[in-house]
Amino acid sequence: MKQKIEYDNLIPINAYLWCPKPYPQPLHFHSSLEIGYCREGRGKFIFENKLYEVRKGDVFIVNNTELHIAQSAEHDPSRYIFLNFDPSLFLEEDEKLLLPFAYRSERFENHIAAGTPLAQQIGVLIQQIYEELNAKSEGYLTIARCKLLELGVTLLRHYRSGFSNEQWVKMSNSQREIKEMLLFVKERFQEPLQLTDVAAHLDWSTARTSRFFKEHTGSSFITYITQLRISEAKKQLVTNLESIADISFSSGFQSLASFYRAFNSDVGMSPQEYRKQFGVKQLF
């Protein structure tokens, strides 16, 4: 089951406390990356084909493709701080920060054991990000973003130590291709962009591009670009008074039928209702 993540902050990052249920729940995944820090209690962390016993101080890394769920022990419930954030936060800073989350790497690790210096370091950073995002003092988003990047670098340095220079160069190149692909899409989503255009840009076959896209973003090309277009349309609906048809086309949709279909299925209401609820007139 794919879970939809809404971010509570102006940058795409959430930090929240979570106490998993003491009985089995369905596995889920989401397009955000996730890091969970167990502050107390015991339990299990379940992935598709892996199961970890959890104790206080454990850290779990979850990428945007893997099905997972946490479960508490019956008489000693586990309590976590979870961070959810959009991969773009790392991608825009340094694409290599995403490597420790790359599932296809043979060194991908879900679990960082309690008591290790790495788990302790990450635990402190997660706690600080959580406190910043909750206190909302002046400049809290900047601090939260910086601490998240620090967390990313900490993971990256640990991860880097396990590779030869040759392996590392190869992986870094692959990461650069992902960045190039996503930036190409981000710059052109308001045009009638198709998968074949991205493939032509990279000089790849469409099948290869399609696979690569899904593998690295967790979404298909069409889902990814539709999300960008809907976000753009939402932004325009609440900030200007252009007709819905104009907004649809300037967001990158090629027909009104596609726009209404996509908007309704993603947002759960019509564009007009959305504008009524969150639009400019409501703000003044």
Partner DNA sequence: ACGTCTATCTTGGAAGATCC
Partner DNA sequence: GGATCTTCCAAGATAGACGT
- Residues engaged in binding DNA (CB under 7 A): 104, 192, 194-196, 204-208, 210-211, 213-214, 220-223, 226, 243-245, 253-258, 260-262, 264, 270-273
Residue 204 in contact with residue 190, Cβ under 8 Å? no
User: Least separation, in Å, of the C-beta of 1 and DNA?
Assistant: 15
Nearer to DNA (CB atom), residue 24 or residue 192 = 192
Pairing of strands 111-112, 68-72: unpaired
Residues 70 and 93: beta-carbon distance below 8 Å: no
Question: Rounded to the nearest whole angstrom, what is the least distance from the CB of residue 6 to DNA in the complex?
Answer: 21
The answer to whether residues 95 and 114 touch, using CB atoms and an 8 Å cutoff, is no
Nearer to DNA, 39 or 229 (CB): 229
Return the number of the residue (76 or 191) whose C-beta is nearest DNA.
Answer: 191
CB of 79 to DNA, least distance (A): 36
Comparison of 127 and 219: residue with beta carbon closer to DNA: 219
CB of 284 to DNA, least distance (A): 19
Closer residue to DNA (CB): 80 or 274: 274
Concatenated DSSP letters of the chain:
-EEP---SSSSSEEEEEE---SS----BEESSEEEEEEEE-BEEEEETTEEEEE-TT-EEEE-SS--EEEEE-SSSB-EEEEEEE-THHHHHH-GGGGGGG-TTSTT--SEE-TTSHHHHHHHHHHHHHHHHHHH--TTHHHHHHHHHHHHHHHHHHHHHTTS-HHHHHHHHHHHHHHHHHHHHHHHHTTS---HHHHHHHHT--HHHHHHHHHHHHSS-HHHHHHHHHHHHHHHHHHH----HHHHHHHTT-S-HHHHHHHHHHHHSS-HHHHHHHHSHHHH-
CA distance 60 to 86: 17
Our CB check for DNA shows the closer of 154 and 258 to be 258
CB of 281 to DNA, least distance (A): 13
Based on CB atoms, which residue is closest to DNA, 97 or 244? 244
* Closer residue to DNA (CB): 44 or 201: 201
CB of 230 to DNA, least distance (A): 10
CB of 224 to DNA, least distance (A): 8
Distance separating the N- and C-terminal Cα atoms of the chain? 39
Q: How far is the CB of 149 from DNA (least distance, A)?
A: 28
